Every structure is written in structure tokens, then in C-alpha cells.
Amino acid sequence: MPAGSRRHRDRIAVVGRGIRGLAAAAFLRRAGLAATVYEQASALGEVGAGLVVARYERVRSPRAGRVQEASRGRIAHHHLPDGPEQVARDAAFAGEDPLSHNDWLYGYDAEQAAAAAAPAG
């Protein structure tokens, strides 16, 4: 049998769609292996790992969108060709705190945001 041909016949099952099962399936996929994830629950709800993943998505998604928008909005400013415009921009950057305009990004407290998004109880 040629090297690597057996890989296509192997079947991998990951039992449990919690955080560990999903991580295992993701790592297997990165390694070029297909895996089927099996879960006893009929839907992923806000219990156990589902609670953590759902809360993470509620907190992460809006912030990730804001980071992407800010990055796209700065393309023209941060990706200048070599020349006088770039030199002027770099001189302006040298006179300021590079993080001063991004406190919302670098001063972010993920634990505080997750705690605020946790259901009362």
C-alpha cells in the first residue's frame, strides 16, 4: 500500500461537542484528517461548554467586528508607499503615544466583559 493511502480509509470519531471535542476536531482537520463529531445532546445550548462558547460569542463578535472595521479604515494611512507622505506620517507617529487612540482595544478586560455577559444567578 503506498504511503499515505491508508489515511483516506481511516475513520476518526470525536465523542462530545464540548470545547475539548471541538478543539480535537479542529486539530485533526489542521493535520489533514477528517473527523466526525458525535454529541448526545440534540442542540448546543447554554449548558456546560455550550454556555461558555455561547457567552464567548456574545462578547467576542461585536468587538471582533469593531477591530476589523478599524483595521480596514486605516489601510490607506498605514500602508503608504515609500516617500514624503510616509516620512510625514512616521514623524507624526514619533511624537505621540501609539496606543493613545486605541484604549478601547488595548485596555480591554476580557474577564470583566465575560463576567458582565454572564447570566445573573
**Same structural domain, 28 and 81:** no
The pTM assigned to this predicted structure is 0.43
| Helix residue ranges, H only, the chain | 19-30, 49-73, 75-78, 84-94, 103-106, 110-117
Pairwise CA distance, residues 42 & 56, whole Å = 21
- 99 with 78, same domain: the answer is yes
Cell numbers for 6, please give them: 491508508
pLDDT tens digits, one per residue of 17-70: 777 888 888 888 888 888 888 887 766 555 555 556 667 777 777 888 888 888
Average pLDDT score, the chain = 78
Distance CA 54, CA 46 (A): 6
The answer to whether residue 94 scores a pLDDT higher than 80 is: yes
Q: Is the pLDDT of residue 85 over 90?
A: yes
4 assigned to some structural domain: no
**The C-alpha cell that represents 74 in the structure block:** 486605516
Helix (H) or strand (E) segment spanning residue 6 = none
- Give percent above pLDDT 70 in the chain: 79
115 lies in the same domain as 78 = yes
Residue 1: what pLDDT?
41
Using pLDDT thresholds of 50, 70 and 90, give the confidence band for residue 82.
very high
Count up the domains in the chain and report the number: 2
Residue 8: the pLDDT is 53
Q: In this structure, are 77 and 108 located in the same domain?
A: yes
45, with CB counted inside 10 A (0-12, 13-18, 19+), is exposed
Domain span holding position 37: 11-43
Report the run of H or E that residue 27 belongs to, with start and end: helix 19-30
